[in-house]
Structure 1
Amino acid sequence: MAVEEEVPVRDQATEYDKLESTPIVGEHRDILAGAREPDGPAIDLALSGTVFFDIVLTGLAASPASGTEVGADGMGSCPGGVANLAVAASRLGLRTAVAAAFGEDVYGDFCWETLSAQEMVDLSASRRIADWHSPFTVSLAYRGDRSMVTHEHPSPVPVADMARHLPRARAGFVSLSATGGVPEWALEQAALGTLLFADVGWDDSRQWSRSVLEQLSHCHAFMPNAIEAMSYTRTGSPASALSALAEHVPVAVVTDGPRGALAVDQTTGEHAAVEGIVLDAVDTTGAGDVFGAAFIVGTLAGWPLEQRLRFANLSASLSVQHTGGSLSAPGWADIAAWWGQLHAARHDAAQRRLAADYGFLGDLVPLPWRPTAQRRASATIGLRH
């Protein structure tokens, strides 16, 4: 599994590290420490779904055509699927629990150990299953986009059965679809006060069923991307889609990649739209999950809507600089490093404006930032340190 190793930070600037995922590691920070109560939920975020073993190949000039071979500049291995959001939330300080099936194969070993031991994700509601092949995905990242090939078999133990054992949480995350309603475990937790956050997967049928919007009556927030939002609402712009979604859910968010995000929070009466942060992209896998996790962090922490959007945008932008959907997620040290560099380099109007927009980070991360000597090992099953 990917583990932590003690090495000098300056010695990491090798050609190999430029190709692999090595986010900075900092001390775990409990962002909700001041809001915790003795009788409150022990878990901040609960979610269920499929954990894939991901192999990600980066730096391709093009997608391979039939009968051809294409070289890749970099590669990484990491837990994927529902693990993307779980790891992102845990690295930002949320106590996170996942219900998922793991095979008793080497892929399942790697994913289980990485999530539980390295990323501190609660897997008490998950199961190891003998004689079952862990779900597997190969992702090809090129020209700012990606293509994926997946192999999986249905779990002999339904995830819905495992999810009934998820601990009570402050927030729950669900992925909506036209073929199923909001999971029973999520409805039960919502009845106890859990805030449900939702996104939606791509509709291969292109029918964009209205039943998805009907499920939002059970949710606190909905966070689709612009194409999904416009398709489900039959509108022609992200702003029009946001207005339509606000009729179905208290907090509506529409993400638009590097163009930013816009949202409305009817619980506070806030509207906000923020520009994206454009950084060099190695692999965009999981950026939407990182955005969602960061937005949940800001919501549970009680931040203003604009701050939540900016923090989520920044977190997602930092994630695309590294390989892999889950292990590319930034931690607080990554955010502190970005803020420290920006604060020290306010030489032009654009940088000064960005520093002003993200001034709230001054209260969240220390300046000057003191880097740690620890760095997370490369995201690969092939190297053990």
Structure 2
Amino acid sequence: MTHELITMGRISVDIYPDDIGVGLADVTRFGKYLGGSPANVAVAAARHGRRTAVITRTGDDPFGEFLHQELRRYGVDDQWVTAVPELQTPVTFCAIRPPEDFPLYFYGRSPSAPDWEIEANELDTDAIAAARIFWSTVTGLSRPRSRQAQVTAHEARPQASLTPGQHTVLDLDYRPMFWDSVEQAREQVARILPHVTVAVGNSEECAVAVGEGTPDDQADRLLEAGVKLAVVKRGSDGVMAATAEERVVSKPLPVETVNGLGAGDSFGGALVHGLLAGWPLEQVLDYANAAGALVATRIACSDAMPTPDEVTALLAERGRPVPQEVRA
């Protein structure tokens, strides 16, 4: 089976509070969810009916088994999720204090985490090469072993930019606690960008990748680095996307935010769906914006990923064009 999307990188158990508006020290009730951005993107795309898989590693422990169970429940292929016996499955806690305060606390990632121990020589490079979309993250570049695996995966897709309907995506998810410096991260991003056809990040993440500037400046630099599609998230100003031929902006869909942490991953899964469907770029962005907005109104991330009907209903409610469900 050829996958429409294969993601690679971080996975964890998210422990999110049921108590809203208080600090983590004061939370008394929590829920347990599948987490980690690449895993969440795979779940989000699966909700849109796409054949997805994730390449990652867990501990050989009950939390690792929980993540396998959740991936299968969401319809994500877990055949490339393997265990690292000497490490524990990471756990991520957060506090939820709307509208903008959602601090994350990472446990079980020092000195390493299982998803930083992905082995390059164990990758199914034929499957990676055949996937319609391959999605990796800057976090995966922060440690030597996972960095080499990511480079190997990208090198398996040398013709991706020449193949219609095939995309190689880098999520510019810079997290400073995983790096020694911004300069170190920028160096590694510069090495991987020639293998990338789509780059996605907010203005701060784009600044780490290609330097400060306006969204147009940052998009121009990403295109100059070889990217075919640069997507720059601009917060309350919406999302801008640029190719060599066009530049479009999608305005945000304001909602009452409950937890903003999963919005970017929901956006990513919907972006994948729109690119695979071959919609016009503005419709792809509108659809992804709506998907992200819906998750922001909910507590969970993976468990909150919306269905196409929910996304199109929000677009229709806000007077935005509703794309046809083209299965490409």
Aligned to 2:156: 188
- The 2-side partners of 1:217 and 1:336 are apart by 35
Paired letter, 2:56: A
- The 2-side partners of 1:235 and 1:185 are apart by 29
**1:159 pairs with 2:118:** yes
How far did 1:70 drift? Answer: 2.2
Q: Is the contact between residue 321 and residue 328 of structure 1 (CA under 8 Å) also seen in structure 2?
A: no
Gapped regions of structure 1 (runs ≥ 5): 1-40, 343-353, 366-385
- The 1-side partners of 2:216 and 2:66 are apart by 42
Paired letter, 1:312: A
- The 2-side partners of 1:236 and 1:165 are apart by 39
Q: Is the contact between residue 58 and residue 282 of structure 1 (CA under 8 Å) also seen in structure 2?
A: no
Paired letter, 1:185: A
Aligned to 1:274: 250
Q: Is the contact between residue 99 and residue 163 of structure 1 (CA under 8 Å) also seen in structure 2?
A: no
Q: Deviations over 1:73-132 (max 9, x none)?
A: x7432111121111011111211111122334221222111111x111111122245564
**1:226 pairs with 2:203:** yes
Cα–Cα, structure 1 residues 196 and 319, in superposed 2: closer, same or farther, change >3 Å?
Answer: same
- The 2-side partners of 1:324 and 1:282 are apart by 10
Work out which of the residue numbers 20, 26, 46 in structure 1 matches 2:6.
Answer: 46
Work out which of the residue numbers 286, 298, 319 in structure 2 matches 1:310.
Answer: 286
Higher mean C-alpha displacement, 305-314 vs 257-266: 257-266
How far did 1:322 drift? Answer: 1.4
**1:360 pairs with 2:322:** yes
TM-score by length of 1: 0.71
Work out which of the residue numbers 259, 278, 286 in structure 1 matches 2:262.
Answer: 286
Percent same amino acid among aligned pairs?
A: 25
Within 5 Å, give how 1:1-385 maps onto structure 2: 42-57=2-17, 60-63=20-23, 69-71=25-27, 75-81=30-36, 82-116=38-72, 118-130=73-85, 132-143=87-98, 144-152=100-108, 153-155=112-114, 158-161=117-120, 164-165=123-124, 167=127, 168-176=130-138, 177=141, 180=147, 182-191=150-159, 193=163, 194-202=166-174, 204=176, 205-207=181-183, 209-248=186-225, 249-266=227-244, 269-339=245-315, 342=317, 354-355=318-319, 358-361=320-323, 363-364=324-325
Cα–Cα, structure 1 residues 127 and 224, in superposed 2: closer, same or farther, change >3 Å?
Answer: same
How far did 1:273 drift? Answer: 0.7
Gapped regions of structure 2 (runs ≥ 5): none
Q: Is the contact between residue 89 and residue 113 of structure 2 (CA under 8 Å) also seen in structure 1?
A: no
TM-score by length of 2: 0.82
Q: Deviations over 1:12-55 (max 9, x none)?
A: xxxxxxxxxxxxxxxxxxxxxxxxxxxxx610011221310110
How far did 1:221 drift? Answer: 0.6
How far did 1:209 drift? Answer: 2.2
- The 2-side partners of 1:183 and 1:243 are apart by 24
Cα–Cα, structure 1 residues 175 and 212, in superposed 2: closer, same or farther, change >3 Å?
Answer: same
Paired letter, 2:289: N
How far did 1:231 drift? Answer: 4.1
Q: Is the contact between residue 141 and residue 283 of structure 1 (CA under 8 Å) also seen in structure 2?
A: yes
- The 2-side partners of 1:201 and 1:270 are apart by 25
Q: Is the contact between residue 140 and residue 146 of structure 1 (CA under 8 Å) also seen in structure 2?
A: yes
How far did 1:327 drift? Answer: 1.5
Higher mean C-alpha displacement, 222-231 vs 272-281: 222-231
Cα–Cα, structure 1 residues 58 and 229, in superposed 2: closer, same or farther, change >3 Å?
Answer: farther
How far did 1:272 drift? Answer: 0.2
Q: Deviations over 1:254-279 (max 9, x none)?
A: 0122321001122xx12101111111
Question: Taking CA–CA contacts closer than 8 Å with sequence separation of 6 or more, which of the two structures ends up with the larger relative contact order?
Answer: 1
- The 2-side partners of 1:364 and 1:256 are apart by 27
Cα–Cα, structure 1 residues 170 and 275, in superposed 2: closer, same or farther, change >3 Å?
Answer: same
Aligned to 1:28: none
- The 2-side partners of 1:263 and 1:288 are apart by 15
3-state SS of the aligned residue for 1:146?
coil
Cα–Cα, structure 1 residues 127 and 157, in superposed 2: closer, same or farther, change >3 Å?
Answer: farther
Structure number with larger C-alpha Rg: 1
How far did 1:58 drift? Answer: 5.3
Higher percent of residues as helix: 2
- The 1-side partners of 2:232 and 2:300 are apart by 24
Cα–Cα, structure 1 residues 150 and 359, in superposed 2: closer, same or farther, change >3 Å?
Answer: same
Q: Deviations over 1:148-205 (max 9, x none)?
A: 2222253399313486126231110011346646431232134465521111232522
